[in-house]
């Protein structure tokens, strides 16, 4: 083959001298053609894997990947149904996303902008098909099961991606099974694979991008780089953390391309480095521009998460700011270690082993996930985020990938288009089986530490209550059990309010409320059109004249001096206490849950007091 000729592999033509004119320019007569032509690679030093005789296609690994997906899907779905239908354990952000999906379809003014621009849109948009059948299966949205199903699918997909990383590493199958099982059954992965939060799609996107970037390190296949870009876009649409991660990885990809081309003596290393960076980031750049542009056109704010009065920054500011300083830094590091106690040791061992065998494959996924962890630790130390375990969940994925990268790679990657910078994978001796077993047992022992940490109200304020319903778990003192029961009752009052309003058989536009606090009420209601909410075009008009607009009730939450401002309480500061002269108290609901406000339902007066 022509590609086997060494001069063509270097992208060179053999020098020619003499009196032949090139392009009709006599000034180039006698100049060696190699000096005139750019030294660019013209072909890969490796053939596509389909052209290699007896190439192992590993179809059995891919079939087993389907088994991994279906098996974990069944486990997470069972846990999701148990939590949603039996335990009734819900997280506010998950219910809020489900309510947004339902409002997009069934509110008084259905449109995509109803979802708001505080959260990234992926988890809401993917729920739309499930929300569409909610009138026939109301428990899908009432219990937040629609969001939980989304988490189930994405987390099962993450397990499959991890299996494929192990398959393409060509490590012993028993070791790959052990790694995937430990990842899939990690308490944090099981929980957040079943509750409708954004962690599952984020982890899926990160592992998908990791797999493709690991491949690109050796194959230089543009398809791997493009697919990694789409995976990063998925991660961004799930969580904003992906922006920082993608920026760092983009720079690293550019640096690697520049260095490799420069070492080979090829021209324009900076240009090709820029091209690879562009190929990687254009999908996430497109997603970012589309999302922020839609936010700006709809709300006038480019980054509502950071500038809106309902965004994360405003919530933290209104609650007196998050914990800061050295103690916050220690707490963030502690939560990371609680999630994966073996991570620091494993990270050091993999780095040393990779340097010794000249293996670059662990570089990109490690930098990606360490960037996310560092970002979360730093922002918590600066008081920009709350102390929640789930913010550090990427440590579980990093630990699993490092376990795979601990062993040296086997054969070459299957690839249809190896690039000019194709590299053969390094060969090294596989550690003794006893060493492999010891490392696996060390990581498995760390899961017991995680389970203990999840039972602590200090370290796991959103998860500790589940110890009350898990068999054989330590229930603690009576006071601790009472606290857990209250947490498990969170949003039960909102469901009761929704049932009461639905029993009144109200017509359209008869209840004014704000989804800032009442999203769980709307989520549990079977009549979305009875509510007038801030995303409705006529919300301000109706709020200014509720009696003249046919409104019968005002559902308002107890004002919280340090909380997010409710537009109804902002318009009528005395409404919750006195009815503000426009309504009379119908019912009061004392909240049974933790962190949720008390509620009052006011009946609107036909003629306001004083008129």
How much is the pTM? 0.90
Sign of torsion, CA 581 587 590 592? Answer: negative
Alpha helices in 463-514 (DSSP H): 478-488, 492-503
What confidence tier does 5 reach under pLDDT thresholds 50, 70, 90? very low
How much is the pLDDT for 473? 83
What domains are there in the chain, each with its CATH number?
Answer: 1-47 (no CATH), 320-411+429-454 (no CATH), 492-604 (3.40.190)
* CA pair distance 151, 94, nearest whole angstrom: 10
pLDDT above 70: residue 164: yes
Average pLDDT, the chain: 88
How much is the pLDDT for 463? 94
How much is the pLDDT for 323? 72
How much is the pLDDT for 384? 79
Q: Identify the residue whose tokens are 């490796």.
A: 46
* CA pair distance 406, 346, nearest whole angstrom: 8
Q: At 602, give phi and psi (nearest 5°).
A: -105, 135
Q: How far is CA 107 from CA 70, 101, 302, 520, 530, in A?
A: 35, 10, 25, 15, 9
* CA pair distance 245, 75, nearest whole angstrom: 30
Q: At 465, give phi and psi (nearest 5°).
A: -65, -20
How much is the pLDDT for 490? 93
Q: What percent of the chain has pLDDT over 70?
A: 88
- Look at residue 500 and give its three-state secondary structure: helix
pLDDT above 80: residue 26: no
What is the per-residue pLDDT across 401-442, written as a single tens digit (0 to 9) for each? 999 999 999 888 888 889 889 999 998 888 899 999 999 999
The full DSSP string for 40-53 is: ---S-SS--GGGST
- Please report which helix (H) or strand (E) contains residue 113, including its range: none
Give 233 or 324, the one with higher predicted confidence. 233
What is the per-residue pLDDT across 86-118, written as a single tens digit (0 to 9) for each? 999 999 999 999 999 999 999 998 888 888 778
What confidence tier does 477 reach under pLDDT thresholds 50, 70, 90? confident
The per-residue b/e assignment along 95-129, b for 16 or more CB within 10 angstroms, e otherwise, is bbbbbbbbbbebbbeeeeebbbbbbbbbbbbbbbe
**Nearest by Cα to 389 from 440, 457, 448, 489:** 457
How much is the pLDDT for 9? 36
Q: How far is CA 46 from CA 54, 272, 415, 424, in A?
A: 15, 20, 10, 9
The full DSSP string for 418-466 is: --TT--PPPP-PPPPHHHHHHHHHHHHHHHHHHHHHHT-TTT-TTTGGG
What is the per-residue pLDDT across 35-88, written as a single tens digit (0 to 9) for each? 444 565 557 788 887 777 767 767 788 899 999 999 999 999 999 999 999 999
What is the per-residue pLDDT across 323-374, written as a single tens digit (0 to 9) for each? 778 899 999 999 999 999 999 999 999 999 999 999 999 999 999 999 999 9
pLDDT above 70: residue 607: no
- Please report which helix (H) or strand (E) contains residue 351, including its range: helix 343-357
How much is the pLDDT for 374? 96
Q: What angle do CA 131, 141, 291 make, to 5 degrees?
A: 55
pLDDT above 60: residue 280: yes
* CA pair distance 311, 320, nearest whole angstrom: 15
- Look at residue 110 and give its three-state secondary structure: coil
Contact of 398 with 207, CB cutoff 8 Å: no
**Nearest by Cα to 422 from 255, 231, 261:** 261
**Nearest by Cα to 205 from 233, 247, 164, 244:** 233
Query: Which residues does residue 601 pair with via DSSP β-bridges, in sequence order?
Result: 555, 587
What is the per-residue pLDDT across 537-555, written as a single tens digit (0 to 9) for each? 899 999 999 999 999 999 9
3-state helix, strand, coil in the chain (%, to 5): 60, 5, 35
* CA pair distance 385, 464, nearest whole angstrom: 19
Contact of 46 with 422, CB cutoff 8 Å: yes
Give 237 or 475, the one with higher predicted confidence. 237
The full DSSP string for 42-101 is: -S-SS--GGGSTT----HHHHHHHHHHHHHHHHHHHHHHHIIIIII----HHHHHHHHHH
How much is the pLDDT for 564? 61
How much is the pLDDT for 6? 36
What confidence tier does 563 reach under pLDDT thresholds 50, 70, 90? low
How much is the pLDDT for 606? 84
What confidence tier does 471 reach under pLDDT thresholds 50, 70, 90? confident
Q: How far is CA 571 from CA 109, 351, 548, 578, 605, in A?
A: 22, 59, 16, 14, 17
Mean pLDDT (whole number) for 504-526 = 93
Contact of 180 with 562, CB cutoff 8 Å: no
Give 475 or 138, the one with higher predicted confidence. 138
Q: How far apart are the first and last CA of the chain?
A: 95
The full DSSP string for 212-272 is: HHHHHHHH--HHHHHHHHHHHHHHHHH-THHHHHHHHHHHHHHHHHHHHHHHTT-S-HHHH
Q: How far is CA 204 from CA 80, 148, 189, 196, 211, in A?
A: 18, 15, 11, 14, 11
pLDDT above 50: residue 154: yes
**Nearest by Cα to 191 from 491, 594, 462, 397:** 462
What confidence tier does 561 reach under pLDDT thresholds 50, 70, 90? low
How much is the pLDDT for 56? 72
* CA pair distance 202, 239, nearest whole angstrom: 6
* CA pair distance 536, 520, nearest whole angstrom: 18
Dmax (CA) of the chain: 106
Q: How far is CA 333 from the centre of its chain?
A: 20
Query: Which residues does residue 556 pair with via DSSP β-bridges, in sequence order?
Result: 600
How much is the pLDDT for 302? 75
């Amino acid at each position: 083959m022509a590609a086997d000729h060494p001069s063509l592999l270097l992208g060179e033509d053999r020098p020619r001298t003499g009196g032949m004119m090139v392009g009709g320019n006599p000034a180039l007569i006698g100049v060696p053609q190699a000096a005139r032509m750019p030294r660019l690679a013209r072909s890969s030093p490796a053939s596509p894997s389909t052209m290699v005789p007896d190439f192992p296609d590993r179809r059995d690994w891919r079939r087993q990947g389907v088994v991994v997906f279906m098996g974990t899907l069944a486990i997470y779905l069972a846990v999701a149904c148990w939590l949603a239908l039996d335990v009734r354990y819900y997280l506010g952000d998950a219910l809020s996303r489900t309510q947004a999906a339902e409002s997009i379809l069934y509110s008084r003014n259905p449109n995509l902008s109803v979802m708001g621009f505080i959260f990234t849109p992926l988890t809401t948009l993917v729920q739309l098909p499930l929300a569409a059948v909610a009138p026939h299966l109301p428990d899908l949205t009432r219990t937040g099961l629609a969001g939980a199903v989304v988490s189930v699918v994405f987390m099962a997909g993450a397990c499959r991606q991890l299996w494929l990383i192990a398959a393409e590493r060509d490590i012993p199958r028993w070791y790959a099974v052990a790694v995937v099982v430990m990842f899939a059954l990690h308490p944090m992965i099981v929980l957040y694979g079943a509750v409708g939060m954004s962690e599952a799609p984020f982890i899926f996107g990160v592992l998908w991008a990791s797999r493709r970037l690991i491949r690109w390190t050796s194959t230089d296949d543009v398809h791997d780089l493009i697919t990694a870009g789409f995976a990063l876009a998925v991660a961004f649409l799930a969580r904003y953390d992906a922006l920082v991660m993608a920026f760092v990885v983009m720079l690293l990809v550019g640096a690697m391309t520049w260095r490799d081309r420069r070492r080979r003596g090829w021209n324009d290393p900076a240009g090709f480095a820029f091209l690879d960076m562009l190929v990687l980031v254009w999908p996430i750049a497109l997603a970012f521009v589309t999302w922020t542009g839609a936010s700006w056109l709809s709300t006038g704010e480019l980054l509502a998460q950071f500038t809106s009065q309902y965004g994360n920054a405003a919530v933290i500011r209104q609650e007196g700011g998050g914990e800061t300083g050295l103690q916050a830094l220690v707490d963030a590091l502690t939560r990371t270690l609680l999630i994966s106690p073996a991570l620091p040791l494993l990270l050091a061992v993999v780095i040393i082993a990779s340097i010794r065998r000249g293996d670059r494959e662990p570089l990109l996924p490690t930098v990606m996930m360490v960037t996310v962890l560092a970002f979360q630790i730093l922002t918590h130390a600066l008081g920009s985020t709350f102390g929640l375990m789930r913010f550090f969940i990427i440590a579980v994925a990093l630990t699993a990938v490092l376990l795979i990268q601990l062993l040296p790679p086997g054969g070459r990657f299957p690839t249809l288009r190896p690039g000019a910078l194709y590299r053969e994978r390094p060969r090294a001796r596989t550690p003794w089986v006893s060493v492999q077993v010891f490392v696996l047992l060390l990581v498995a022992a760390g899961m017991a530490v995680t389970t203990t940490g999840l039972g602590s109200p200090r370290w796991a304020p959103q998860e500790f209550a589940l110890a009350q319903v898990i068999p054989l778990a330590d229930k603690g003192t009576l006071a601790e059990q009472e606290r857990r029961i209250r947490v498990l009752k969170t949003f039960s009052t909102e469901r009761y309010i929704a049932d009461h309003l639905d029993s009144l058989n109200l017509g359209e536009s008869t209840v004014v409320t704000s989804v800032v606090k009442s999203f769980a009420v709307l989520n549990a209601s079977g009549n979305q059109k009875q509510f007038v909410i801030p995303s409705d075009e006529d919300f301000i008009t109706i709020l200014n004249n509720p009696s003249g607009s046919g409104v019968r009730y005002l559902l308002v939450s107890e004002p919280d001096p340090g909380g997010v401002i409710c537009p109804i309480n902002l318009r009528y500061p005395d409404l919750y206490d006195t009815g503000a002269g426009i309504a009379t108290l119908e019912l009061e609901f004392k909240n049974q849950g933790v962190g949720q406000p008390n509620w009052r339902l006011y009946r609107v007066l036909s003629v306001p007091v004083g008129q």
